Amino acid sequence: MKSIPSRPTTLLMMYTSMAIILSSTVVASSFSPATSTFAIRPHRIHDVRTSILLRGGNEEDIQPTPEPESPVAVSSPPADTSKLGPNAPPPGFLRSLMPWFPWHSLPNYLTYARCLSIPLFLFLSYYPTKFVHRAPTLSSIFALASITDWWDGYLARRWDVTSPFGAFLDPVADKLMVSTALIVLSGRYGGIVAIPSSIILAREVGVSALREWMAQRGKRDSVKVGMQGKVKAALTMLSISILLCVPEGVGLDSLGWKFFGSLAKGGAGNVVDGVTNAGLEKVLGPSLIMLAMSSVITVTSGWVYFKAALPVLMGKE
């Protein structure tokens, strides 16, 4: 009759068999990290050591678990600290080259520059008295100011940056610059410029008052700037830039100019000594026609705004 092993001996034999099975090549491969999530973890090295010793191995057979390699740091481009809006595109060449520059304030800086150019433009219109390069200088100042009018709006939309003060000052700076140039040109050429200038300025005052009144009633979007208003602004700025480029007194003795009668002011002989004509008298007539067209579009676009606001003005809404 066989003797029955005692309970401690039986448990020791079971644990030994389980350790040998778990340490075998087949089971170890089935629980490898590539095929299972039950792989032996490095911090449980004492379990591996026990299984090796139970199979008759030595201490030398125990290989230390290598430490996991630290991830390699990947260099990233310099962060854009310009505080642009969430919809702004990634930094380009200039923004990457100068990340320290406050790019989010650039549209406002352009508006400030346009405001500062107004007193400079007004001063150079009359002083110094014998300024040979007055015409190209005034034309360049006004043309650059007109370009910044488009540029600051484009950058504000592209970079998704807005500010209450910038939204207020931008249209004010445009109207101040155009009004100053029209007043200076009216004093130079008389009624032929003063009449369309008066129409343009009257429309600007009326439409600005209408927009403010509609904004108080929460309907400002019904009188927002349309395509006709943009065409009027572009045509006005272009005609003023060309008129300023013509030296004072040039082209006033032409036959076409005499047809305007008392509306025309000035005449031949008013050109400052040293000023070259360079054929600029030929662009005086087209620039005046463009200014007259701008005044016509001014009236039609203004009527569109007032027509859209008419139900509110008549109390029907």
pLDDT tens-digit series, residues 237-277: 999 999 999 988 777 766 566 666 666 665 444 567 777 77
Q: How many CB atoms lie under 10 A from the CB of residue 28?
A: 14
The confidence score (pLDDT) of residue 265 equals 66
Judge if the upstream peptide bond of residue 128 is cis by omega within 30 degrees of 0: yes
Count of residues for the chain?
317
pLDDT at site 8: 53
Cβ contacts of 166-174, under 8 Å, gap ≥ 24: 166/107, 166/108, 166/111, 169/108, 169/111, 169/112, 169/115, 170/111, 171/208, 173/111, 173/114, 173/115, 173/118, 173/149, 174/114, 174/149, 174/233
Q: How far is CA 237 from the centre of its chain?
A: 22
Q: Whole-angstrom Cα distance, residue 256 to residue 284?
A: 10
Neighbours of 138 (CB within 10 A): 24
Tell me the C-alpha to C-alpha distance, in Å, between residue 151 and each of 27, 137, 256: 71, 21, 37
Place of tokens 């008419």: 310
The confidence score (pLDDT) of residue 143 equals 96
- Residue spans of the chain under pLDDT 50: 1-2, 4-5, 22, 24-45, 76-81, 267-269
